[in-house]
Amino acid sequence: MRTVAQHIADRLGQFTPKALLTLGSGLGALANDVEDATVLPFGEVGLPDTTVPGHEGRLLAGHLEGVPVLCQQGRVHLYEGRDVSETVACVRAAAELGAEVFIATNAAGGIGDGAPEDPTPGDLMLIADHLNFTGENPLIGLPTPHFVDLKDAYDPQLRAVAREAAQATGHPLREGVYAALRGPSFETPAEITWLRTVGANAVGMSTVPEVIAARDAGLRVAAFSLLTNVHLPGGSTTDHEEVIDVGSKAGPRLAAVLRALVPRL
Ligand code: HPA
C-alpha cells in the first residue's frame, strides 16, 4: 500500500518542504498566500477527510514568502471518531518528505482569572508547553517503544523567533500552556476550574497528538493558539459559530505573524 508521503511525492515530483503548517478552525485563509500552490484534497493523497465546518480538508504545496511549505488546510480530530494515527498522518508524511519544522495553529478557549491581564477573544498565544488530557498518544503501539523527550517540545529557539516575528508585525503575542481535551463538548465550569488549577492558559481539542508525532519524527515545533473565546470564573458559554467567527476575524493577524516567521526559520 502506498503511504501518504508516496502519494504526495507522486503528485509533486521533486519538492522538499521546509515546513508543514497546519491551519486550524477558521484559520484557513493563510492558504490563499501560498504561491504556485498545488492543491491536494486530503482524499486524493490518502489522508482522512474532515467533517468539521471551518476545516477545508486539503493540502497545499507551494511557497510562502519564498520558503517551500506544505500547508494543511484543516485537520481531522479525535472527536470525529478518528484514530489518533489518522490525526497525525499529515505530520508523519511531511517528515518523510523532508520537512524540518512543524508549525501548528488552532482555535482555543483562553482561561482567565477575572484579572485585568486576562486574555480577550481574538488574542494570539504562542504555546510554551502542553497538557495532554486526550487519553491518546500517537506513539502507543509502535513496534518498539518510543520514549520521546518532551521537555522542549515547543522549541525554545523557534519560540524566540516567533516572538520576534510577532514584534515585527506589531501584533501582541501571549505565551502559555495549552491543554488538549478530546471534545467535542466544550468544558464545564468545573473542568475550567480544574484546568486553571493545573496551569492551563488555553484549552482546545487538537494539536497535542500532532506535536508528539512531530517530536518523534525529529521535527522542530512552533505552535500558536488563536483564543476565540475566554472562560472566566463562574462559567461562560461557548459555541462553534463564535469560534469560527472570531477565528476568521483575527486569522489575518496570525497569518501575518506566520508570514513573518517562515522566512526566519
Ligand atoms: N474549548 C475547547 N476547544 C475550543 C474552545 C474552547 O473553549 N474554543 C475554541 N476551541
Q: What's the gap in Å between 237 CA and the centre of ligand 1? A: 11
Residues with CB under 6 Å of ligand 1 are 107-109, 186-187, 203-205, 228-229, 238, 243
Do the Cβ atoms of 15 and 66 come closer than 8 Å? no
Do the Cβ atoms of 21 and 258 come closer than 8 Å? yes
CA 2, CA 67: separation in Å to the nearest integer? 27
Q: What is the pLDDT along the chain (265 residues), one digit of tens a residue?
A: 788 999 999 999 889 999 999 998 767 778 889 999 999 999 999 998 877 766 678 999 999 999 999 999 989 999 999 999 999 999 999 999 999 999 999 999 999 999 999 999 999 999 999 999 999 999 999 999 899 999 999 999 999 999 999 999 999 999 999 999 999 999 999 999 999 999 999 999 999 999 999 999 999 999 999 999 999 998 778 888 888 888 878 889 999 999 999 999 9
Residue among 23, 120, 203 to mutate when testing ligand 1 (max atoms within 8 A of CB) = 203
Annotated active-site positions, please?
A: 25, 55, 77, 79-80, 107, 205-206, 229, 240
Which helix (H) or strand (E) is 91 found in, with range? Answer: helix 89-96
- Our CA angle for 145, 7, 101, nearest 5°, is 55
